[in-house]
A = this chain, B = another copy of it.
C-alpha cells in the first residue's frame, strides 16, 4: 500500500484529502510493518504538525477503518492499534512488550513451525468471527 493508493482510495470514497489525513497516512506507512496506536500516531504527527489534535487522529482512524483502508486491532490491556497491512495474515501479539508481528497466513498454523520461524512462543490463540446474529440480521433490513 502506497501513499498515493491510499489517497486515491480516499477520493473514491468521497472523503476529503486534508493535510491531517495526508500526515496520518504518512505516519501509518512509515517503518512497515507498523502497528501504532492513536497516541503514537498523534505524538509522531504532532512533531511535524504541532496543531494536530488527538480527536482528529481518532476521527481519521475511524474513517479510514470504516472505509477499509486500515484495520483496527482492539485490545484490553493496551490501546487500539492500527495496521495498513490488509493482506490475510495472523497477528502475533507479545503480551509483555505489546509488539505485534505479522505472520503471513490466514490459517491456524503449526505452532512449532511458527516459533521456529519467528521466535514467537504462543500462549493463547484467539479466533473470533464478527458479524451479525440471526436476530440482528433480520433487523438490519429495517
The reply to whether A129 and B74 contact each other, CB–CB distance below 8 Å, is: no
Measured between beta carbons, the chain B residues less than 8 angstroms from A121 are 131-132, 137
**Could you tell me if B134 and A90 are in contact, using CB atoms closer than 8 angstroms?**
no
On chain B, the residues within 8 Å of A133 by CB distance are: 92, 94, 96-97, 99, 101, 118-120
Task: State how many residues of chain A have any CB contact under 8 Å with chain B.
Answer: 45
Q: A74-B76, A99-B133 are in contact. List 10 more A-B contacts (CB 8 A).
A: A75-B76, A91-B127, A94-B132, A96-B133, A108-B108, A118-B133, A118-B134, A119-B134, A123-B130, A127-B128
The list of the 7 closest CB pairs from A to B, nearest first, reads A119-B134, A74-B76, A96-B136, A94-B133, A123-B131, A124-B130, A122-B131
